[in-house]
Chains A and B, each alone.
Chain A
Amino acid sequence: MSGHSSYVPKTGIERWLDARLPIIRLAHDSAVSYPVPRNLNYLWTFGGILVFMLVVQIVTGIILAMHYTANSLLAFNSVEHIMRDVNYGWLLRYLHSNGASMFFVAVYVHIFRGLYYGSYKAPREVLWILGVVIFLLMMATAFMGYVLPWGQMSFWGATVITNLFSALPVIGETIVTFLWGGYSVDNPTLNRFFSLHYLLPFMIFGVVVLHIWALHVVGQNNPTGVEVKNVQKDTVPFTPYATVKDIFGMVVFMILFAWFVFYQPNFMGHADNYIPANPASTPAHIVPEWYFLPFYAILRAIPDKLGGVLAMGAAIVVLAFLPWIDTSKVKSMSYRPIGRQLFWAFVVVCIGLGYLGAMPAEGGYVIASQIFTVLYFGFFVALFVVGLFERPKALPTSIADAVLASAKGGSAARVATATAAEPNVKG
């Protein structure tokens, strides 16, 4: 995709630097002249939004770490110290805690966009798998971050989730002891989680660099799923076209983010986490943060502990195999009549699982969770089967043709309404 470099150093200093470290050339080729399919819709702005959210989390997190104390006796009150006595500490903390939720909002939109438009298919398999790796790292980071305030939900969430590893045969107990740094969730657990919570975002950053690198090698997918054929006709340069569109998308997303930070800062949290951790008192319902709920529902749907853990793991890992599970040659669901319905059913199933994950594991909820778990994995089976015989609609010959056709369709429709309206105006 990235053809020969179009960078021309204009000043003496640039020429001097370009001969030694072509870093300006790299920036120019990847963020200025990089060709972008001209038909991308706003769902494609979420990649940029995610980079923005990662930076927000790292910056606010570093400042919070200056005031936070990772000690089981002091952690809760040190967070309250940030909320009460640190200048704009309430803002930093609410940005960080709501930022985590917004990060997941954006990543789920990003993942479902990839699913709908088949962005995992050749030649983007590595790009997609790197994305799944980032998703896993995000989940680990968010989980450990939620433990740090050392409230009731922090403590009991950590207890439940780390205990899952004990289901693994032979090594399970050893892993749990290693995670805890002892024989129960306690100060050593908090210390190592804090350390890892500080480390993992930088690992995410590293994988994001690889993710973007892979993206710039294969080029972006687009709503038609038809690859770029003529760079002149099918693409526009990243700057200013994609830059201004991405920034606009980002600012709209910031409005949503600010709504929660300033007006509903505790909406996505749990009231129980404002009660200091108490190993002697278990909350009535231990519920993870909303972004884990679908996976939590799958975990609890399986009556067997090991089975539940494996199912939950499989629910995430199966995503990495999508490039080979989906047998259809056509990327975009827009051209797949059955695949598209499957996709929307899958969206409903994921939301349903999220709802069930928040409900107590009893009675009808368990049965519903089991049905939905089967449907979740059924989607992947169906994707495999449907791809074998589905008859896709006719694909446009090129991106430029698709753009022109939709423009023509649009203006033709406008003309039609205009003529239809005319007699009324005259009459």
Chain B
Amino acid sequence: MSRISFRLALTGLAAGLSLALIQPAAQAAEAGPKPPALSWSFSGPFGKFDRAQLQRGFKVFKEVCASCHGASLVAFRNLSQPGGPEFTSGQVAALAATYQIKDGPNDQGEMFERPGRPADRFPSPFPNEQAARAAQGGAYPPDFSVLAKARTYTRGFPTFVFDIFTQYQEQGPDYIHALLVGYKEPPAGFPALLPGQNYNEYMPGHLIAMPNPLSDGQVEYPKGADGKAPVPETADQYARDVAAFMMWMAEPHLEARKRLGMQVMAFLTIFAFLLYYTKKKVWSRMPDGSPVH
């Protein structure tokens, strides 16, 4: 009898599993295409940010994104810290001074504005969320400080299991890049766009309030010795660079983390080997000296 109930249980199990596996396929179809996985300098166990890329990304952020998006947790001084864009402290001081920061109250009890200092955080373009919404037709441009970690897409089974071994964790920058280059004409049959709506291939639901922010040649990159920018000045390149910069803003200690990780791993592995042979030696004899077997 138990054999039969056990077989029944197994059949039910198989039925349940197959049901569970069919569903995600149907779901993926409606969610739209997956953002392409780009090759990032900061991926993998030895990953490091590309300084030049972060500096370019900062330029895109400053000249394009920052007119609507804040980065309220990032301080100017962070731009010169190791593991980031590594601008010189002179550059950072000069940059900070171009911003007006609200400070106070002073001895008269008044709030006042003063030039920024490296210790200041990036001033947000809007004083509060309501002001931002009022200026943006109801939409709120999210703060960039941790946005690269706050955005993702479904990896699905079994990909997410492989991700443990491949250390893939760049869903955020991949998604941001894809979104920035994902503006398209809505497909036939898509409901007509209302004013303030834009069609984006990668946005969940495809409707996004932000108009296409990047176009080719929009941001001038520093020129190399030959008078040409070392990377193409295209929307795709801007999107890559700003996504990398956003990843650094979200995880400013990424390089230190991976570097320390390698040291910890090396130590633990050697320690584990030593312990294994110690254990073998200890367990080769019983307490009275007789062999274990």
Contact = CB atoms under 8 A, between A and B. Distances in A.
A199 to B, nearest CB: 29
B101 to A, nearest CB: 18
B2 A248 contact: no
Interface stretch (B87-95, B236-244, B252-260): B252-260
A241 B2 contact: no
Contact of A403 (B2, B145, B258, B293): B293
Contacts of A265: 257
B253 to A, nearest CB: 5
Interface stretch (B3-11, B32-40, B187-195, B217-225): B3-11
Given A258-B268, A365-B23, A386-B2, A274 B150 contact: yes
A3 B271 CA distance: 35
Interface stretch (A130-138, A312-320, A349-357): A349-357
A368 interface: yes
Interface in B64-85: 73, 78
A91 interface: yes
B20 A378 contact: no
Interface stretch (A58-66, A139-147, A189-197, A337-345): A337-345
A258 B264 contact: yes
A293 interface: no
Nearest to A84: B252
Nearest to B44: A263
Interface string A168-186: 0000000000000000000
Contacts of B146: 80, 274
B193 to A, nearest CB: 22
A122 interface: no
B138 to A, nearest CB: 13
A263 B20 contact: no
A122 to B, nearest CB: 24
Q: Which applies to chain A's interface (DSSP): helix, strand, loop or mixed?
A: helix
Contacts of A389: 2
Contacts of A349: 13
B293 A407 contact: yes
A262 interface: yes
B23 A262 contact: no
Given A254-B268, A368-B20, A261 B261 contact: yes
Contacts of B293: 403-404, 407-408, 411
B181 interface: no
Interface residues of B, number: 60
Contact of A364 (B23, B152, B167): B23
B16 A372 contact: yes
B150 A245 contact: no
A236 interface: yes
B21 to A, nearest CB: 9
Contacts of B257: 90-91, 94, 262, 265
A80 B73 CA distance: 8
B286 A251 contact: no
A254 B265 CA distance: 9
Contacts of A251: 268, 271-272, 275
The 4 A-B pairs at the shortest CB distance, nearest first, are namely A262-B261, A407-B293, A274-B150, A271-B152
Interface of A: 38, 77, 80, 83-84, 90-91, 94, 236-237, 240-241, 244-245, 247-248, 251-252, 254-255, 258-259, 261-267, 271-272, 274-275, 284, 338, 341-342, 345, 348-349, 352, 355-356, 359-360, 363-365, 367-368, 371-372, 374-375, 378, 382, 385-386, 389-390, 403-404, 407-408, 411
Interface of B: 2, 5-6, 9-10, 12-13, 15-17, 19-20, 22-24, 27, 45, 73, 78, 142, 145-147, 149-152, 157, 163-164, 167, 169, 171-172, 204, 250, 252-253, 256-258, 260-262, 264-265, 268-269, 271-272, 275-276, 278-279, 282-283, 286-287, 292-293
9 contacts: A83-B253, A91-B257, A248-B279, A254-B268, A261-B261, A264-B164, A274-B250, A363-B23, A403-B292
